[in-house]
Amino acid sequence: MKGIIIAVNILHFIITVKSSAIFNTDYWSARASILRFEEKIALGGNLIFENDERIANDFLMDLKEKELAEAFSDPTKFSPAKNFIEAYGNIEQSKVFKIIKQMPKGAVLHSHDTSIVSEDFVFNNITYRDNLFVCDVNGTLSLRFFDVPSNDCNWQLLQRIRSNKTMADEINSRIRNQLSMITADPDSVYFNVNIAWKKFMDIFAFITPMLTYKPIYEDHFYQGLKELYEDNVLYLELRSTLPTLYELNGTEYSPIEVLKIYKEVTTRFINDYPDFVGVKIIYAPIRVMTPEEMDAFVKSAVEMKATFPNFFAGIDLVGQEDKGQPLTKYVDKLYPIINNIQTFFHAGETNWYGMKTDENLIDALLLNTKRIGHGYALTKHPFLLDIIKRQDIAIEVCPISNQVLGLVKDLRNHPASLLFADGFPVVVSNDDPGLWGAKALSYDFYEAFMGLMSRNADIRALKQLAINSIKYSSMSNDQKLKANVIWTRKWFSFINQFICDSTRDLVNVSEIVQ
């Protein structure tokens, strides 16, 4: 019904404009009407400024317009047009970015287990823990915790190697190189999607044996929550492969036991930070499984839903879509459970049109997905777009991920611009921030606000993103109520502080000029 009303309003507007033109209505009035209509239907365009939001918006838009004007004059200064790996230092100097960092951003709904923590923490903290061993196989390092190392490799205690200054510099450089995609010339190094994805998957292969040591896995997840909390995020839905965890004594933990560990860490974090609302886990193994593995996955998901009904959100399949199995491969296993297990499918994370990856979008909808992960190819499917808007299915837009992994170079050309312009149910998320030098959520919000949205998109668009992130989450109604109360309080506190800081800066500048 909502989609029909919107369509009727648009048709009425077009007819009115055309009729006006026939009767020689003033050109400039018609032009202004079009601009007002575009603003109204864009993300956040229906929100009304509350309290002092308009004052805060004036300050924000002044900074945004100055930054855009400088880039329009000198395009080399526009960060969203550059690979994030190259641009993140400049982004951190942006006044708009600094404001976005202070802003309460609601929830993160698309992020992955072993990549949510900043690369600096993994290197400076985790790789300096006791009992971490390193092995070099044909120029590639492996890291794993042991009490007594196994005989399958020439394992050496990393602390011992670092005790030698020359050896420490070399090993540290190699570890950092394998920990992230950061490089001096990313566009030359990752010159196509497959090259970027190979490096991306190599990082997961490198960090997983280290991070799946149970005490480290717990600390890593806690740190991920802390980094989100410090970035003014109050809730997380985490996609996890639920990997096998291990202890030094050889004890191992199954997927459902790992889910319980997540819940215990979440409870501890909420006790430490009571205004953090919570976490839910989406069980998301790699999208290359045998029929037997798929059966085991479905069986585990059913058990998890029964055992942790308020913590287990649902299922997904992850990995490079172009090289993974299409959803059609698993329909016979998935279709029988979609009324009992919620789905959150990655779909359309591709530049190809009409290929199996692109058509995953169709299957995701037919398999009852609550949200669509990435949905990069959606704008090539107007019929699906209409369904998504009518059924109010959220699209998880991850700008930096799409850029770093080779789908788009200049974020002004990201297809999600249309989704923002037409007020689709979108959320912005961070995907795998720790693998390309980002941290938490603010970087993706900045890139979306400055690169994907219109110059005229204002503080209401940012507010709508935060509201959407709560609305389209899997939180219970009680959790959503609590989240909205906490977020609203923090939002207006942010508005007041932003106005105070901006006013003080204006006074200081005036005094300097005088």
**Residue length of the chain:** 514
Long-range contacts at 89-92 (CB < 8 A, ≥ 24 apart): 91/443, 91/446, 91/447
Choosing from 237, 349, 359, 396, the catalytic residue is 349
**Residues 6 or more apart whose Cβ sits within 8 Å of residue 11:** none
pLDDT (0 to 100) of residue 506:
72
Query: For 361-398, how does the pLDDT look when each residue is reduced to its tens digit (9 = 90+)?
Result: 999 999 999 999 999 999 999 999 999 999 999 999 99
Distance CA(29)–CA(38), nearest Å, equals: 14
Q: DSSP secondary-structure letter at 215? A: H
Q: DSSP secondary-structure letter at 450? A: I
Choosing from 374, 381, 414, 447, the catalytic residue is 374
pLDDT (0 to 100) of residue 7:
45
pTM of the model: 0.93
For the chain, what is the radius of gyration of the CA atoms? 24
Residue intervals in the chain for CATH 3.20.20.140:
91-121+194-487
> 26 φ, ψ to 5°?
-55, 130
Active-site annotation holds for 218: no
Distance CA(113)–CA(364), nearest Å, equals: 22
Low-confidence stretches of the chain (pLDDT < 70) are 1-25, 507, 509-514
48: amino acid identity, one letter: I
E strand or H helix that includes residue 104 = none
Structural class in CATH, domain 91-121+194-487 = alpha beta
The label of the residue with tokens 């080399």 reads 76
Residue 170 CB neighbours (<10 A): 12
Query: For 205-245, how does the pLDDT look when each residue is reduced to its tens digit (9 = 90+)?
Result: 999 999 999 999 999 999 999 999 999 999 999 999 999 99
- β-partners of residue 141 are 136
Q: Write b or e for each residue in 493-510: b if 16 or more Cβ atoms lie within 10 A of its Cβ, otherwise e.
A: ebbeebbeebeeeeeeee
- β-partners of residue 397 are 428
Decide: residue 172, CB within 10 A, 0-12 exposed, 13-18 middle, 19+ buried: middle
Q: DSSP secondary-structure letter at 448? A: I
Cβ proximity of 370 and 344 under 8 Å: yes
Q: How far is CA 488 from CA 256, 276, 279, in A?
A: 35, 14, 19
470: amino acid identity, one letter: I
Residue 119 CB neighbours (<10 A): 22
Active-site annotation holds for 414: no
Cβ proximity of 82 and 208 under 8 Å: no
- β-partners of residue 318 are 286
- Map residue 281 onto helix, strand or coil: strand
Cβ proximity of 44 and 468 under 8 Å: no
Name the token pair of 165.
């200054």
- β-partners of residue 427 are 396
DSSP string, 147-170: SS--SSS--EEHHHHHTSHHHHHH
